[in-house]
Amino acid sequence: MNTVISFSCPAHLAMRLNEENLPKRGKSEWISDAIRLKLDGVDEDTIQNASVRRLMAALLSREDCDPHLKEEILRRLNPEH
């Protein structure tokens, strides 16, 4: 069962949400998911939210990362070198 709610937010956040170009129902689902994640205490700093560059950098910092993989990651992070 869904309930219609209304709330205010800063204009810059509303603009960012509108820039996502979500369909009307998609926007409701997106906001519902965001609220649920926040209420459930899910940390935003998760693998699902990490960029590829961030994940690659995290692998580089691990001591158990294969040296050949580190070399490839460095090559991809710094293609001009």
Are 36 and 11 part of one and the same domain?
A: yes
pLDDT value of residue 44 = 62
pLDDT value of residue 8 = 93
For residue range 8-63, what is the model confidence (pLDDT) as tens digits?
A: 999 988 888 888 777 766 888 888 888 887 888 766 666 666 677 778 888 888 88
Distance CA 37, CA 22 (A): 19
Judge whether 1 lies within some domain. no
Containing domain of residue 63, as a range?
47-77
Judge whether 2 lies within some domain. no
Are 20 and 35 part of one and the same domain?
A: yes
Are 55 and 31 part of one and the same domain?
A: no
Distance CA 61, CA 41 (A): 27
Which amino acid is present at 4?
Answer: V
pLDDT value of residue 56 = 81
Q: What is the pTM of this model?
A: 0.47
What six digits make up the tokens of 1? Answer: 């069962």
Q: How many domains does the chain divide into?
A: 2
pLDDT value of residue 11 = 92
Cβ atoms of 20 and 30 within 8 Å: the answer is yes
Are 51 and 64 part of one and the same domain?
A: yes
